[in-house]
Structure 1
Amino acid sequence: MMSSLDVSLSSLRILFITDLACCTQLPDGLCRLPYLEFIQILRAPAIKRVGPEFMQSYHQHSPRPSQMVAAFPRLHKMELIGMVEWEEWEWEEQVQAFPVLQELMLKQCKLKCLPPGLASQAGALNKLTIYNVQGLISVENFPSLVELELDENLDLERITNLPRLQKLTIQDCPKLKALEDVPALQRIILTDEDMEALPEYMGGINPRHLELYCSLVLLTSIAAGQSGAEWDKFGHVEHVKAYASEGGNSRKWYVLYTANPYSLETNVSHSFMSRGTLTSFEDGQRFESLFKMTRKNFSYICSLVMGPSMEDMNSYTFVDGRVLSLEDRVAVALRRLQSSEPTESIASSVGVNESIILLVTERFVDTVWEQADHHSSWPDSSEMDKIKSKFDKIHNMHNCCGVICTRHIPFGPNWDHEKNGSTLIQVVVDPEMRFRNIWLGSAGMTQSSLLHDSALFKECVKGDLLNGSKLNTALDGSEVGEYIIGDAGYPLLPWLLTPYEEEELSDFKTEFNRRHSAATTCALKALARFKDTWKCLHGETWWPANLETLSKIIYACCRLHNIVIDMEDDAAMRSTKWRNYSKEVRQLANEDAVRARDMLSQYFLASRSSESGG
C-alpha cells in the first residue's frame, strides 16, 4: 500500500538533494520513485557508507522473485558530489539496479573501490566521471563504458578492461601506471603541467588522437620528433596536439604532429633547447663545483625559466656571434649571482660581453621572481605537519613551525653611486634549511620594526597563519598553539617564543632554553650556506641600478637556495597546484605568551623525565 508521500512523488523525474549536514546515510525510498530520471546529491559530509538499502527494489517485499523490479528503473544520470567522508559503496553483483543509467559522476569523496554491482548491472553506463576521489586505486571491467573522465585522483594506479572505451580524459593522476585492454580507444586527453615525460603506458595503446597539456620540458622533447626521447611513446599515434602554457595562455607553446603523411609543426626552437656550450662537462663533479648544484638542479631551473626565455631566444649572443642557448643563459646568470668577481672578469672567462652578462642576469632574476614563487610560499597544512614532526624528532621542539632570524645584506656603491649600504632580510627557516617566509626592509629598520612591518606579522596577528593543530600540554586540557622561535631581540608573542633571560633559571626554563638554542642552529646553517653560495650578496661587487631589481635578486637567490634543497628529496618538490591551507582563525585574544612558554617549558621537562624513565 502506497503512502500519501509515495503518491505525491510517484511522478517525480528530477531530484536535487543538497546539504545533508547531519545525515549518516542517504534517504531511503529513493529507489521507489519509478519515473526518476536524474538525481544529484550535493554535500553530505557525514555519510561514510552507502549500503544495499539505497538500491533495494521497491518490490523487495514481493513473495515471488518474478515480480522483482530493478531499483531506479528509469534513472539516466546520477551525480554524487561532496560526500567527503564516503568510503564504502556496498552493491553486490547480483543486485539489480540502474538498468538504464547512462552517466555517473563521483566527486570529492574517499571511495576506496567501485562496487561490483556497478560494472555488472549498470549495463547502459557509457560515461563515468571521477573527480578528486581519494583512495581509489583502479577503474576496471566496465563492458559498456564509452567515455571516462578522471581528474585529481591522486591514488589511481590502474585502468583496465574497458572494451568499448573511446574517449579518455586524465588530469593530475600522478600514480597512474597501467592503462590496458582498451582496444576501441580513439582519443586520449592528458593534462598535467608538471609532466616531464609521457607515461610508459602510451607505448602500449593505439589511440587515433592524443591531446596533451604538459610542461615545456616535455613539449621540447616531443618537438625533437624522431630524435627525441619520447618518440616511441607517441610516434604511432595518428594525430597529436601537444601544448605547454605560459601566463594565462594554456596553448602558448605547441607541437602539432601527424603520422601519415609525416608532419611536425612547432614554435619551440630545438637548437635553443640544446646542450649549452658553457655546461658541456662530462665530469659531474666539475659541474657541481662550478655551479654549486647537480645537473638535475640545473635542468629544473632551466625548465622554470624556459617559457619566458623563449620570447627573446635570439636576443643574446657570445662575442663571436653564436646565440646563447637556454642552458648558456642560465649558466651566465648563475655565474654572476654566485661570484664576487667583477662582471668584467666573468665576461672575459665565458666569452660574452659585460652588458650581455648583466642583461641576461636581470632577465633571469625577473623570470625566477615570476615563475618560482611557489618555492618560497608558506607551507600548507600537510607540509606544516611534516615540519613540526622534524622539529620534534630532531630537537624535541613539539609543535614548532620554524626559526625566525634577521640579517643585513650589504650592497656596494653602484646602487646609489655615493656610499655603501645594506638592506635587512627577515626569514623563517625550516629544519631542512629552507626559507619558508622572506621579508625585506631598509637598513634603518630594527629587527623588531621589520617584524611588525612584515606580512607574516600581520597574518599571524589576524590568526590566519600558525593556525593549525594545538599541542595538549597538561591533563587539564591546556594547549599551546603553533609557534616559531626567535632570539631575544624579538618580542615574546603567543606565536613567537623567545628564550628566557633571567639570571637564575628553573629546571624547566633551562630545558626550554637548551632546546630553543639547539633548534635555532638550522637558521644559522641556512644563512651560512646562503651566503657562501650567492656571493653577489657580499656587497663587494656589481649591484643593479634600482632598488626593485635589488629586491628581486635577493628573493631569486632565496628561491634558488630552496630549489637546491627541495631537489635533494624529490618527494619535497613544491607544486604550483592549489595548496591546502588551514581555514581556521586562531583566537589570539585568548592566549597569553608568557603562560604559553611556561606551559611548553614544563611539558618539555616532563616529557624528558618520562622518556628517561625518571
Structure 2
Amino acid sequence: MFHLVKRKGKKNCFLGIKLCSQVCSSEIDEDHINTLKDIGLKIIQKCGCLPIAVKVMGGLLRERGGLRGDWQRVLDDSKWPTTKMPDDLNHTVYLSYEYMPSYMKQCFLYYSFLPKSRIFHMDQVVAMWISEGFIHGNSSDLEELGRNYYKELVSRNLIEPDKSYVGIWVCSMHDVVRSFARYITKDEALVAQDGDDDILAKLGSQKFLRLSIETNQSKSGELNWKSLQAHQSVRTLISTIQIKMKPGDSLVTFSGLRTLHIESADMAVLLESLYQLKHLRYLKLVNADMSVLRVNIGKMKLLQFLELGGCIKLLNLPDSIVKFGQLRSLLLPRISMVPRGFSGLTNMRRLSLFPAHMDGDWCSLDELGPLSQLRYLHLVQLENVSAASFASNARLSEKVHFSWLILYCTNKLGDDGLVKENESVSEEEQQLIEKVFDKLYPPPGVEYLEIKWYFGRQLPSWMMSTSIVSLNNLTTIIFSDLACCTQLPNGLCQLLNLQFLQVRRAPCIKHVGTGFLQAVAASFPRLNKLKLYDMVEWEEWEWEEQVQAMRCLEMLELRKCRLRHVPPGLASNASSLKILILRDVKHLNYIESFPSVVELTVDGCPDLERITNIPNLQKLTIENCPKLKVLEHIASLERLVLKDYTMEKLPEYIQDIKPRHLQLFCRLWLLSAIAMGQSGIEWDKFSHVEHVKAYADDGDNQRKWHVLYTRGDNCKLDSNISTRNKKHTND
C-alpha cells in the first residue's frame, strides 16, 4: 500500500501505511486505496508528517468516503492554510473540526475540557453532554445517541481507546488535539491547574461558561471558593482540587449550573445550599468526610445524573432521594441500605452499587421490578437476599434495554487466593446463593457480565449449555473470586459474540475438562482475549487437538497456577494467537509449537526448562526462570528482555539465538563482568547481538548502572560502572 511513499523515505512510508490503516474498511478495500496514493502523498505532506495529524486525517477521509473526488476536495480545501490559529496548533485537526456536523463539534470541544488527571468513562461523558443540552432527540434515546457521538469521535481518531479497559469504555485525547480544542474554546471555557502562578489572574480576566480546575501533581496548591464566585453564568464546574471554604460560602451564585463535579474535603459547607441549584442535571461529589446528605436535596427536581461513589463515609441516604423523578443514573456509595420508594424512579437507566439489603424498613430487590428502562445494573451484598423470590421479583429478564449486569457478593477470599479461615460457607448458604443467582437471569440483549465474590459451588444454571444460547449478545464476561466453584460453566463456548473472558481467583478449580470446550462445530468462535488469573490450585487443562476452538484468540494470559503443560489443542487450534503471557505457572516444564505467536512473556516459572519451535516469535521476555536452558527454533526473534537479579552469569542459550536487541536487568556483579567487554568472561555470550542495553539497580533505581553495547559500531561498549563499583560488586 502506498508503494511510492518509499521514495520519500522511511518516515513517509510509515505515515503512508498509517494513513491507509485508518481509511481501509469493509467498504473501502486496499486495492482501491492504492489508486489514491498520489493524493495521499500530498495530504501527508500537508499534515506536516506528524503521526497524530495523519491519524486524524485518516479518520476524516474515512468519514468522507473513498471516492477520488472526496479526497481531492479535502486536499484542495481552502481551510488548510487558515491564519485563524497560532502556528503551534495543528491545521489538520482544524480541518477535521470544520468537517464535523455542528452537534459533534460541541461534544468534541467539551471532551477536551475534562481534567487529564481523572478517568471519565463513556457513560459519564455522555451524561455531561446530555446535561449541557448537546444531545437532542427522544428522551428514551439520549444515552444511545450520546454513545453514537462518542463512537464517532473514536472513528475520527479525535479520542483514542485506552487499552487498559475493555473496548472504548475509557478514551484519551492526544495533547495536539486537546491543545487545538482548548484554543477554540478559550473565550468561554477555562482549564487551569492548582499551583499555577496566574490562576487567579485567569479567573479574573473574563467571565467563563465552563471552569475546569485540575490537580497539578508537581505543585500542591489550594484555591479559595470566593475566587470562583464571580463566574455567576457558569454552566459546568469541574474541580479535582481541594478548595478552601469557610462558613457562609454558598452555591447560590451559580444558579445556572447544569454540571457539577467537585472533590473537596470542605464540601459540608456547600451542602447547605446544594438544593438551590434548580437547573442542575449532573452532580458528582467526591468527599472523604461527608457523612450525611440534607433532606432538602430532594428539591433538585431536574437532577438526572448523581454520583456519590467517592463519599466513603456516607452511610445512608435521605428519604427524599426517591423524589428525583428525572433521575437517569445513580452511583451509590458503599452504603448498607436504600430508602423505600425506589420503584418510582422509572426513568433510571444506570444503577451502580445497589445493596441487596432485605430489612423490611428499607428498599429490597423487589423495587427494581418496575425499572423497565435499566441499561446498566450493579448489585452488591447479594448474600443478604433471604429468598430467591426477591431476586425473581427484580424481573431482570424482562428489561429489554439491558446491556450491562454486575453481580457482587461479599469477599470470602484472603490475599493468598484461598477461603479465609473465618469465612467458611455452609451447604445451606451455597444452595441459597445458587438459587438467588439463578433468578437473576439477564435478558437476551446483555453484552457485559461480571460476577464477583460468588460462593456457590457452580455458576448460575443459565450459563449452562441448554440456556446460554439465548445470551448471544454477550461480548465480555469477567468472573472474580469464585470462592467455592469447582468448574467453569460448560455453556460459554457456544456464545457466538464472546470476545473477552477473564477468570480471576477460583481456588476450588483444579481441572478444566472437555466440558469447557465441548465437541461443538467451533467453540468460542470469536473469543479474542482470554485471561485466567490466580487459580492457585489449577493443575490440568484438557484439550485434545481434534477439538476445534478459539480460532480467533489473539491474546492469552495464564497467571499463578499449577498447570503442568499447555494443552496440545491450544497450540494446534489457536491459529491467530499473537501474545502469550505466562506468569507464576509453577510446574510448567516446556513451551513449544506455537507458530503464530509473535510476543511471549514467561515470568516466575521455576520449572521451565525449554522454549522451542516458535518460528514467528519477535519479542521474548524472560523473568525469574532459573532452570531455562534451551531456546531453539525461534529464528525471527528481534528482541530479548531478560530480568533476573539472582543469576550469577549470562545463560548459555543467548549464544544459540540471534536477537537484534537484548535488554538485560541483573545484579551489579554480573553487569560489571559484562562491562569488561572482550576481556571479560561473558563476552562470547552477547558479542554477536547487534544492540545490548544492560542495567543494575541499587534497590531504588533499577537503571542506576548501565552497559550499552553496539556491535555495528566497531563493537562500541559504554558503561557508567566505576572502578570503585567493580571493587564492591560482591558486597
Tell me if TM exceeds 0.5. Answer: no
Q: TM-score band, normalised by the shorter chain?
A: 0.3 to 0.5
Higher relative helix content? 1
Greater length-normalized contact order (CA 8 Å, ≥ 6 residues apart): 1
